[in-house]
Amino acid sequence: MSPIVTLIASFLLLIALSVPIAFAIGLASIITIWQLDIPLTSVVNQMFASINSFPLLAVPFFLLLGRLMNDGGITDRLLRFADSTVGHIRGGLGHINVMVSMMFASLSGSAAADTASVGAVLIPAMKKAGYPSPFAVALTAASSVLGGIIPPSILMVIYGAFGNVSVGALFLGGVVPGLLIGLAQMGYAYSVARRLNLQAESEFSLRQVARTGLVAAPPMILPIVVLGGITAGVFTATEAASVAVLVGLLLAVVFYRAIRLRALPGILAESVIAYSLPMFAVAAAGIMGWLISYLGIADEVARFILSVTDTRVGIMLMVMACMLIIGTVLSPVTAVIIFLPIIQSICVAADIDQIHMALIVILSLTLGLVTPPYGICLLIASQIGEVSTPRAFVAILPLIGLVMLIILAGILVPDLFLFLPQMVMPEAFGIR
């Protein structure tokens, strides 16, 4: 049997037997390596090589930052600021939901954390205000995917680390699509509120905006520190993440006094556990990614796609379609590590900009967070809202369609996504 067939068949069989994804990837890779008569020490070497990366150290720091912001009461302060800013517009709670997700995304970089923290407050509030439960769940889940798009994004850090792509340029490239998706979701929330004849939840007060804005301003400095420091060349993404954690720690412990020093060991321990789970998947996916390169699968797939179409738009549409499908069964992090060799081979063969392709891949994969069977954000929101997953999925389809339209716009008009990173970091594109 061909090693490629063995790899794919064993992986699918293990998935069918309900083996966890990370273990299925690792076991399928080990079976294939054994068939190829490669020393099994290669498994350990590749797993270690996958996680022995300085840029990956940014991931635990961003996870810790998100935990500090959540336990430090930052979510409540962002909610009050969003309420004073957009709560007076029809569909106010929907706009608050999206706006808080956008701000939370710029602090934690984790979509699942966004869903859990924001959803616990806003889904019950939206249901009480008269919004249909499936819509409240759908909007919360859909807006939470901005955690993988708006910087700092953990997914972008991992893509940059494994693909040798500028993390700073990816962060900047995620700003415009993140804002466009957020505005589109707000527009949809307004249309739903208008159809249901739901009125605004509060009145606009400039004094209230100023008061809540002053309270929420300190944590909002963190994204500026991260992005500004990276793009100015002051520090790397990992160093930026560590600086952000120090600032976040000062805010939560000293400025807001929401976290006591004796609670820090528990927060650190829980952050380590939260980091260890995806890192095991990263290590396992690293073996499969290496096998894909070793067996020449990446070059074969690149040649096949180029035999179907040789236009930039056609190739990127095919990659987008593949990533949308892959995202329904694999986490974005795992999918990036496994398929990155194929994606980059396609970019080299078709002369497509690596950063542009990275943004399309990341945007497409984040939709997997709200599409079953993986759909972790949709599952979390459904559980909070006490709505069945099928009902929530039907409700989220229009929001998925809006994101797909924005991805298509980015494919057809590359400058829509790339003008900001090209302007701020031209060296990442070879522009001098």
Start-to-end C-alpha separation, the chain = 51
Average pLDDT over all residues of the chain: 87
pLDDT at 235: 82
* Alpha carbons 377 and 383: distance in angstroms, whole number: 10
Residue 432 has pLDDT above 60, yes or no: no
What is the reported pTM?
0.88
Residue 321 has pLDDT above 90, yes or no: yes
CA Rg value for the chain: 22
CA 221 to chain centre: 21
Place of tokens 């900001």: 420
Place of tokens 């040789």: 310
pLDDT at 169: 92
pLDDT at 115: 83
Higher pLDDT pick, 35 / 293:
35
- Range 22-35 average pLDDT: 91
CA 231 to chain centre: 20
Token pair, residue 355, equals: 């950063």
Neighbours of 331 (CB within 10 A): 21
Confidence of residue 178 (pLDDT cuts 50, 70, 90): very high
pLDDT at 32: 92
* Alpha carbons 124 and 137: distance in angstroms, whole number: 10
Confidence of residue 184 (pLDDT cuts 50, 70, 90): very high
- Range 83-93 average pLDDT: 86
* Alpha carbons 240 and 230: distance in angstroms, whole number: 7
Residue 117 has pLDDT above 60, yes or no: yes
